[in-house]
Chains A and B, each alone.
Chain A
Amino acid sequence: RKEVEQDPGPFNVPEGATVAFNCTYSNSASQSFFWYRQDCRKEPKLLMSVYSSGNEDGRFTAQLNRASQYISLLIRDSKLSDSATYLCAVNEKGGGADGLTFGKGTHLIIQP
């Protein structure tokens, strides 16, 4: 199985700051990309899909760089409630129903 790599952090960021983290993937044939948010002892929840053209949802922006094989997540005007672990996920195979390959997550702590 191919690798999906994330900086585990923790990222300690003051409230109101902008924070960005990347996720690299090794399979150039990867087709779909997602960011999930996971709170402590809870299930991962879909934050946003990542499209080739980049996409934005409020304070969150996701981008895909196919040439360098990474996706990024930018959080602007960070809130205390943004503290969580952020998982990237990549579907690496075409034609089958294989599960997503998840990174191990980046732990984000927003400090007051």
Chain B
Amino acid sequence: DVKVTQSSRYLVKRTGEKVFLECVQDMDHENMFWYRQDPGLGLRLIYFSYDVKMKEKGDIPEGYSVSREKKERFSLILESASTNQTSMYLCASSFGTFYEQYFGPGTRLTVT
């Protein structure tokens, strides 16, 4: 079974803090993704990566950056957290472009 893990299930941070969310997959998948999910807005792609050290912007990259130093690990960074970044953050991985994605359990981030 594919396993995608995320570093925290719940996180509370203050406005202006730098926040790191980490994701690890154990299936040697090439592609990794970060989404956020908000009520009424659905899942929105923040960034994705198709190889180590490679990254591409998704639909809503503003205020975020990512890092992929190892194939199995994909980190999402909120440089200066703001209240509008309060959300559920979901990491996913897939074998390749047309393949299904597998999600981690999510991190529910609250920025106060």
Contacts and interface: CB of A to CB of B under 8 A. Distances in A.
Given A104-B40, A105-B42, A97 B106 contact: no
A95 B96 CA distance: 10
A17 interface: no
A17 B19 CA distance: 46
Interface stretch (A19-27, A42-50, A60-68, A74-82): A42-50
B98 A99 contact: no
A42 B106 contact: yes
A32 B106 contact: no
Contact of B41 (A34, A99, A104): A104
Interface in B85-112: 90, 92, 96-106, 108
Nearest to A103: B42
Contacts of B99: 32
Interface stretch (B29-37, B61-69, B72-80): B29-37
A96 interface: yes
Contacts of A93: 97
Contacts of B41: 104
Contacts of A49: 100
B48 A97 contact: yes
A32 B108 CA distance: 29
A70 B85 CA distance: 33
Contacts of A45: 103
B48 A99 contact: yes
Contacts of A103: 42
B61 to A, nearest CB: 12
A95 B43 contact: no
Among B56, B90, B100, chain A packs the most CB atoms within 10 A around the CB of B100
8 contacts: A42-B105, A43-B104, A89-B101, A95-B97, A97-B48, A97-B50, A103-B42, A104-B41
Interface of A: 1, 31-32, 34, 41-46, 49, 87, 89, 91, 93-100, 102-105
